[in-house]
Amino acid sequence: MDTERTLQIKAISGHPGTVAGHGAKRELEVAKLIDVTTCIGCKACEVACVEWNDHPFRETVFDNTYQTMPTTQWNYYNLIKFNEHQEDNGNLMWLMRKDQCMHCADPGCLRACPADGAIVQYANGIVDFQQDNCIGCQYCISGCPFNIPRFNTTTKKVYKCTLCSDRVGAGLEPACIKACPTGCLHFGTKEEMKAMAETRAAQLRNDPLFPRPNAGVYDPQSIGGTHVMYVLHDITKPELYGGLPANPQIPVSYTLWKYFAKPIGLFMALMGLLAVFYHYIFNGPKLPQPEAPAQEEER
C-alpha cells in the first residue's frame, strides 16, 4: 500500500551508490498457519487464548471425545477438534485441528451485518467484532461459512477470535502461537505463511517413509482466501478435520439480496409513496356524491 511508503527514502543528496532500503516492500497482510500434521492436541493454545482474553474457564460438556467441549463458545474462541479416522488401508489416524475464526478475505459475517461499525476488517486481514456497535441480531452467525461467531445471551452481543488484534497491533504474535510447544502454529505475513505452507506440504508429499500424496494447503479461494491457513494430510477431504468445508460459501442472499435487491426494494417503496402522491395531484380526491354545492362567486 502506497501510504505506508510515503516516508520511505527515495533519493539522497551527495550519496554514493544506491539508496539504502530503496524498493523495499512492506507486506501488510498477516496470517496464521496451522500445520495439523504436527499438532499433538495439547490444548496449550486453548489455555493461552482463554488467559490472554481474560475469560474464565467455562463449564464443559463431556461428549466422549478428547475435545474440551463440543464447539467454540462466546468466551472460548479456540478449540482443538479431535477426529478418529480410519484410512482405506486400515490405519488409524487421529486428526486434530485447531478451530477458530478463519479471518476470511471476503468475510460473510461482515457482509451479513446490518449494524454500522459492528464488524471491521483491517488492512492486515484481521476481521474484528466491535461489540459496542453490535446490535445482537446474529446475522453474522448465519453469514459465516465456518460457523464461528457465538452469541452471548446475557450481553446480547456476538464474539469470536480476534486473531489477537490487540497483540498484533503491538507487534506481538497471537497468544495461541506463543503457547504452541511443537511449532505447529506459525504467524507472519500472508506471503511468508503461504510459502512456508507450500514447502511443508511438498515435504509431506515427498516424504521417503510415509508419503502423503494428497497433502496440501487449505486457503479456500471461494471466499478470497483466509488469514488462517492449514496444512492438511489430505487436502481433498477437509471435512474429515472436524467438518472443515471443502468449498466454503457465503449464502447468496447476503450478497445478491443485500447489495443488489435491497436498495431496489427501498427505491420501489419510495416510488410507491410518490405514486399515490401523484395520483392525488393528477386525479384529485374522490368525493361522496353529489358534491356539496359550490359557493356562488361573490360578484
Q: Which residues bind another protein (CB under 8 A)?
A: 112, 114-116, 133-139, 141-144, 147, 151, 156, 251, 253-254, 257, 261-263, 265-266, 268-269, 272-273, 275-277, 279-280, 283-290, 293, 296, 299
Task: Report the run of H or E that residue 48 belongs to, with start and end.
Answer: helix 44-52
Nearer to another protein, 2 or 298 (CB): 298
Tell me which H or E stretch contains 112: helix 108-112
Residue 55 region by backbone torsions, left for phi larger than 0, else alpha for psi between -120 and 50, else beta: beta
What is the closest distance, in whole angstroms, from the C-beta atom of residue 299 to another protein in the complex?
8
Q: Which is nearer to another protein, 61 or 273 (CB)?
A: 273
Tell me how many helices (H) and strands (E) the chain has. 8, 10
Q: Name the grid cell of 1.
A: 500500500
**CA angle in degrees (0–180, nearest 5) for 85-104-48:** 65
Residue (56 or 285) nearer to another protein, CB? 285
Q: How far is CA 27 from CA 24, 185, 195, in A?
A: 10, 20, 14
Nearest distance in Å: CB 286, another protein: 5
In angstroms, the CA 50 to CA 58 distance is: 10
Q: Give the residue with the Cβ less far from another protein, 41 or 136.
A: 136
Least distance between another protein and beta carbon 239 (Å)? 17
Of residues 129 and 187, the one with the C-beta less far from another protein? 129
Least distance CB 151 / another protein (angstroms): 7
Q: Minimum CB separation from another protein for residue 6, in Å?
A: 32
